[in-house]
Amino acid sequence: MFVSAESSPPSFTGFTLVMPAVAVGNVGQLAADLVVSTLGMTRVGYMHTDCLVPLAGNNPYAAGAKDAEELHTAAEVYTSADRKLAVLQIRSPVIQTRSKKFCKLITSWIKSSGFSRTVVLSSSHAYQRDDQQLQGGPLRYLMTPGLLKVCGDAMKELGWREMERIPAFPGLPDDSSEPRLSIPGGGITKDLYTDSCLEDLSLGALLLFCSEGDNVPDAFTLVNHLDDWLHLLDGPSQGPSRWKIPTSWTLLFGSGIPPALF
């Protein structure tokens, strides 16, 4: 599945993997863009799979005309060796009938690559929140038992709320069914979390309740929470804690209204 861009495959042993789920508002993907762009991460390979809608385009993180014409694809891996950090950026939707297969491929790759932990950046429909989910801020987290043993205290210190389980039929007074995990609009987040629990992987998910629209502010909110946990911008060479917006964001809402219309 992973194809190295280098002559010798990179080692991910002990690295933290950050990846988005293609979810409502594309918040996770935008947040991953900010991490790759700000940290100046290096592309080390790509994912070859039939589970994603095919995509190819110019370099989304181009610094000038020289590297703007590089060909980039639907799913690529970037690393920052000094931070022991890897980012799997996914740029196109998962084909619905192959989402289960894609989750299995991802968990298998995570396991074989030796990542110390995986963080999924995701989102969920704000309008489908249960009453208890209306309390507190919009951020929620999920963690597999393996990662919760290590990071549970950190979550308490940060004051974050775990994603609440909700009744199968909310609002019915006689609903005695076991509360279940529901992430409407969250793409593969739930399946990836469930598979990681079964595989005993150290995986966590950070997600925001949001709506479709201009989700750039949501991306900054999510990536700032990620930084609060992983301290991505605390390195001595980083300088001021400031996220760098990639050049590709100039086309987030298209190229503008053609003057010929008027």
The CATH number covering residue 72 comes to 3.40.50.10900
49 inside domain: yes
Question: In the prediction, which pLDDT does 27 show?
Answer: 96
95 inside domain: yes
Domain of 106 in residue numbering reads as 8-261
3 inside domain: no
One-letter amino acid of 194: T
Nearest to 222 by CA among 133, 120, 135, 125: 120
2 inside domain: no
1 inside domain: no
Question: Beta strand pairing status for 85-90 and 16-20?
Answer: parallel
Question: In the prediction, which pLDDT does 251 show?
Answer: 75
If DSSP states are collapsed to H, E and C, what string results for the chain? CEEECCCCCCCCCCCEEEEECCCHHHHHHHHHHHHHHHHCCEEEEEECCCCECCCEECCCCCCCHHHHCCCEECEEEEEEHHHCEEEEEECCCECHHHHHHHHHHHHHHHHHHCCCEEEEEEEEEHHHCCHHHHCCCCEEEEECHHHHHHHHHHHHHHCCCECCCECCCCCCCCCCCCCECCCCCCCCHHHHHHHHHHCCCCEEEEEEEECCCCCHHHHHHHHHHHHHHHCCCCCCCCCCCCCCCCHHHHHCCCCCCCHHHC
Question: In the prediction, which pLDDT does 240 show?
Answer: 46
Question: In the prediction, which pLDDT does 175 show?
Answer: 58
165 inside domain: yes
Question: In the prediction, which pLDDT does 235 show?
Answer: 53
| 10-residue stretch averages of pLDDT, the chain, 262 residues long | 84 95 95 95 93 91 79 93 95 94 95 95 93 88 93 91 82 68 93 94 95 92 94 62 84 73 72
pTM of the model: 0.89
224 inside domain: yes
Number of domains forming the structure of the chain = 1
